[in-house]
């Protein structure tokens, strides 16, 4: 692959808060690397386009909501970079962390993607590293049957200030080697929303690669927990969970 860009990134949009989204886009654009940011808009109208007229941005209006994975995959054929960032629309990070993460990717040839430490806006840690999901894990997280099991599932029994290779890392900031993301074929489009990040982590295992959690640098994530508060989003979560467990087992 000829690398026209050192780094590309994709943010999937859907009726976003423009003030939050601008902060996320600005975080990406501040890097001094040769870059391209794809904004793939699943919103019903293209009203967000006017805010992002920039030489390093390609805005893509989908015309309907195709879901998270399919929208990210839409740019697969456009990727001509060495590194590709899967980025949520509510993330803020400093300019220097991209280069630090690149150095780590280059040191680890068997790593497909890397994720830094993730903080809530109040600076509390967000536990994005998990064991591979089981049916009990999802039920337990919903109904809080066992806090001990939740803690074990989130690797809270280990030193989370040190880098390690978890089974599964939540997909708010997945910094891929582009070749690996392309080889994986992106996300499984059977999932409209939720579980596509858990699925791709399993596929990375099948590829013989790893996922690296690197807490020496950090990002801030305004995490909404949408499926806990919205019946429609919760139904998407249930549907995706069924598809996941039919594929990977309970």
CATH number at residue 17: 3.90.550.10
Residue 192 has pLDDT above 70, yes or no: yes
Over residues 198-225, the mean pLDDT reads 94
Tell me the three state secondary structure of residue 241: helix
Over residues 100-108, the mean pLDDT reads 98
Helices (H) and strands (E) in the chain, counts: 9, 11
Task: For residue range 12-64, list pLDDT tens digits in order.
Answer: 999 999 999 999 999 999 999 999 999 999 999 999 999 999 999 999 999 99
- Name the pTM for this structure: 0.96
Domain limits for position 239:
5-248
Q: How far is CA 130 from the centre of its chain?
A: 14
Cβ neighbours, 10 Å, residue 56: 16
- Alpha helices per DSSP H over the chain: 18-29, 68-73, 97-107, 135-143, 147-153, 178-184, 196-206, 226-229, 231-248
Q: How far is CA 234 from the centre of its chain?
A: 19
Task: Indicate the number of domains in the chain.
Answer: 1
CA dihedral 102, 106, 110, 115 (to 10 degrees): -20
Over residues 138-161, the mean pLDDT reads 94
């Amino acid at each position: 692959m000829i690398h026209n860009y050192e780094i590309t990134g994709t943010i999937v949009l859907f009726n976003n808060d423009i003030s939050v989204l601008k902060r996320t886009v600005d975080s990406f654009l501040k890097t001094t690397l040769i870059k391209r940011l794809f904004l793939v808009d699943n919103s019903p109208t293209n009203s967000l386009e006017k805010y992002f007229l920039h030489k390093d941005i390609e805005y893509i209006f989908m015309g309907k909501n195709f879901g998270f994975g399919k929208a990210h995959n839409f740019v697969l054929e456009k990727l001509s970079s060495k590194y590709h960032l899967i980025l949520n629309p509510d993330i803020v990070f400093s300019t220097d962390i991209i280069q630090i993460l690149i150095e780590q990717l280059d040191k680890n040839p068997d790593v497909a993607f890397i994720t830094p430490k993730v903080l809530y806006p109040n600076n509390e840690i967000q536990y994005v590293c998990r064991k591979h999901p089981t049916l009990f894990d999802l039920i337990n997280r919903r109904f809080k049957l066992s806090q001990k099991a939740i803690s074990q599932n989130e690797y809270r029994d280990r030193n989370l200030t040190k880098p390690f290779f978890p089974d599964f890392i939540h997909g708010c900031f997945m910094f891929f080697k582009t070749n690996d993301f392309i080889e994986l074929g992106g996300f499984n489009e059977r999932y409209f929303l939720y579980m596509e990040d858990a699925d791709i982590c399993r596929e990375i295992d099948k590829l013989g690669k790893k996922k690296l959690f690197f807490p020496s640098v950090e990002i801030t994530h305004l995490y909404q927990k949408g499926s806990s508060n919205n019946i429609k989003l919760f139904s998407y979560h249930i549907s995706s969970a069924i598809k996941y467990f039919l594929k990977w087992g309970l």
